[in-house]
Amino acid sequence: MSSQDWELLIWQRANALLRQAERIQRNFVHIAVSSQYRVSHGRSSSWEPPINVVESDEVLWVIVAIPGVRQDRVQILLEDNYVTISGERPLPECCTEGELKIWEVPLGPFERRIGPFGAGYSLAVEQTSIRDGLLVIELRKNL
């Protein structure tokens, strides 16, 4: 690996870490404001779940960490080779009474938009499943 390739790899990783830190900060602010005021007017804000993307020659797999969310509460939109995953993680029934003391697990609406994918091909949702808190979306490449 040449030094230029190595530098590019380092900058790409630094950029990815910066985007992740920004996402964490947005989620933190959303949680802090929501817990302080517990009201929202107009369009509600949302948190962004973490993801992994794995690519092969024929398929892209998007893995989304959304523990506590049922599959019927998730929407997947594929548009212009962008994937938008949205839904809602509700407050567990056990916790509807009482005062919130610590809030680290984001609740309420979530949305994550990723892409664009695929220069020279389009994508189609092949299948989706949720297992052990991970949503796995299989996207077939149409070459």
Say what the pTM is.
Answer: 0.67
Cβ atoms 135, 128 nearer than 8 A: yes
Strands 122-131, 51-55: pairing is unpaired
Taking only the tens place, the pLDDT of each residue in 78-136 is 998 899 999 999 888 787 777 777 778 888 899 999 988 877 888 999 999 999 999 99
Find the CATH number of the domain harbouring 72: 2.60.40.790
Domain of residue 82 covers 3-142
- What's the total number of domains in the chain? 1
C-alpha dihedral, 8 to 11 to 17 to 19, nearest 10°: -100
Taking only the tens place, the pLDDT of each residue in 38-68 is 444 444 568 899 999 999 999 999 999 999 9
Contacts of residue 127, defined as CB under 8 A and 6 or more positions apart, other chains included, come to: 138
Q: What angle (nearest 5°) sits at the alpha carbon of residue 66, between those of residues 111 and 58?
A: 80
